[in-house]
Amino acid sequence: MRRAIAAAAALLLALTAACGGNGEDAPPEDGPDVLRVLAGSEIKDLEPLLAKAAGAAGVKVSLSYTGTLDGAEQVANGGADGHYDAVWFSSNRYLSLIDGANARLSTQTKIMVSPVVLGLSRAKARELGWDTGRATWSDIAEAARRHRFTFGMTNPASSNSGFSALVGVAAALSDAGEALDQAQITAVTPRLTGFFSAQTLTAGSSGWLADAFRRRTDVDGLINYESVLLGLRTASGEPLTLVYPGDGVVTADYPLTLLASSPKKELYGKLAAWLRTPGVQREIMTTTARRPIVPEVRPDSRFGTAPLLELPFPNRRSAADALIDAYLNQVRRPSRTVFVLDTSGSMEGDRIDALKQALAALTGTDASASGQFSRFRNRETVTMLPFNTGAGPASTFTVPDRDPAAVLNRIRAYGDGLTARGGTAIYDGLRDAYETARGGPGGSGGTGGEDFTSVVLMTDGENTDGSSYEDFAGFYRALGTRIPTFVVLFGDSDVSEMRQVATLTGGAVFDARQASLASAFKEIRGYQ
């Protein structure tokens, strides 16, 4: 009996770890005064405040982070039950549209609000005549279509700010007064394509987007939460001018939501009540630039006085999914992606199988919505570049703008044919990847075409053959490129050197050592 309990406990821990998304989060510890919360990364900035909840409200908040769509699916299919007591995303709207999700949710308490708006450099806002802060999405779309400015936005399938922005822009441009349906989405697609032709920066999370924006001088603005934009500075240190579209916005309302499966109803109630006390509401406003939800606390002068019109949000999942699908496969500018894959001897066995599976998932075998939205997109050019003792031959595939199945099948067959042997020449592989991405068939040519070009480096060990990191760093700097490398830690990766690669190229590191390689690949897709 004892042993059975121990085994069950171990299983529980393993499952909890797997739920942590990229595996960087420790499994949430339980206790009578601990409220385990599955949250969107957007609320990370509340951590200092939440740390005070233990003393002030008697609630220890244990946060684990996940992506919006991933988190929504996890809650809807019951994967969060038993591991978490509450969920806290910037919005429950998409989650509520999934069949069966509402039965998993108990009390919802809105904590704060932030609309998704446009932030532009002051000079650009003045040039476009929007320095008074007023313009409509139609004005913005027209200027975007004529390439009068450029902007960054998160991927709508990975991050709620991108999804809210997409819904807002589509609702405003569709000229329909009611919630979007399939027919309206089809009709508005050409206008959306014009709008998003000015998008030159994407990301899987609001935090990374803001960091990338600070480094870039060629991106004029961002579409994101007001709270993010109010705190942001351009590369030259200037604050942004916020443009509040007069034809409406979509607002995040951050509902702290008790899971129906949790027995900690009272603990949840304490935290929710504390977060809505006037003092805490004021602190949220001051420290995170979000608007208070309780009417007793009025927004301060940073937020302006113009009333924000709220645009209707779709009430059917099919409409929400159709919109994301249209964005990824028709509307957005196509991306160019190079996968640098370790096929050295140490990959033999489970590891190469995990790689095959992770690649197959990106060709559409993952049937979940988040899986479908992370597949290789229509119009995307994908290069597979295996390496072992040296860099292998590159194979390039371009997914057509319709009927993608045949090409996706070819990519899957390519992945299935990978074999493991030989040494590990990481930087020879990486160097070839950059050469392929810059020139050659399907290459992006000069820097202007690099906006959506990226490299994924997946390796399970240290560099043993060919050029060194220093050689690569010299090569990279001489190249004058800004193509980022997204590094996947796997097996026995050299963590510090891999982090250097990510920092050098302006990429990011994803950890697949605890969680699966497939989930790391899926997360990276948000950045491509």
Binding site for another protein (CB under 8 A): 93, 96-97, 102, 107-108, 110, 113, 175, 177-183, 186, 247-248, 251, 253, 291-296, 307-319, 322
Look at residues 508, 520, 481 and name the one whose alpha carbon lies nearest to residue 212. 508
| Percent of the chain as helix, strand, coil, to the nearest 5 | 45, 20, 35
**Amino acid in the structure at residue 61:** V
**What's 449's DSSP letter?**
G
Residue with Cβ nearer another protein (252 or 489): 252
Residue with Cβ nearer another protein (97 or 456): 97
Which positions ≥6 away from 77 have C-beta within 8 Å? 100
Min dist. Cβ of residue 177 to another protein (A): 4
- Alpha carbon separation from 148 to 210, 215, 327, 414 (Å, rounded): 21, 21, 21, 42
Residue with Cβ nearer another protein (218 or 300): 300
Residue with Cβ nearer another protein (311 or 360): 311
Residue with Cβ nearer another protein (318 or 419): 318
Neighbours of 443 (CB within 10 A): 18
Min dist. Cβ of residue 421 to another protein (A): 49
Contact in structure between 323 and 170 (CB atoms under 8 Å): yes
**Amino acid in the structure at residue 275:** L
Residue with Cβ nearer another protein (32 or 177): 177
Look at residues 99, 3, 1, 40 and name the one whose alpha carbon lies nearest to residue 318. 99
Contact in structure between 384 and 358 (CB atoms under 8 Å): no
Min dist. Cβ of residue 259 to another protein (A): 15
**Amino acid in the structure at residue 293:** I
Which positions ≥6 away from 142 have C-beta within 8 Å? none
Neighbours of 353 (CB within 10 A): 14
Look at residues 80, 37, 36 and name the one whose alpha carbon lies nearest to residue 254. 37
Gap between the Cα atoms of 352 and 349, Å rounded:
6
Give me the helices (H) in 52-202, please. Answer: 53-57, 68-76, 93-97, 101-104, 122-127, 137-145, 160-174, 182-196
Min dist. Cβ of residue 254 to another protein (A): 12
Residue with Cβ nearer another protein (310 or 348): 310
Min dist. Cβ of residue 423 to another protein (A): 52
Which positions ≥6 away from 494 have C-beta within 8 Å? 461, 462, 463
Gap between the Cα atoms of 87 and 36, Å rounded:
8
Residue with Cβ nearer another protein (232 or 311): 311
**DSSP H or E segment with residue 428:** helix 426-438
Residue with Cβ nearer another protein (268 or 376): 268
Residue with Cβ nearer another protein (64 or 189): 189
DSSP string, 258-282: EETT-S-HHHHHHHHHHHTSHHHHH
Min dist. Cβ of residue 88 to another protein (A): 16
- What dihedral angle (degrees, nearest 10) is formed by the CA atoms of 488, 489, 494, 497? 40
Residue with Cβ nearer another protein (47 or 175): 175
Min dist. Cβ of residue 183 to another protein (A): 5
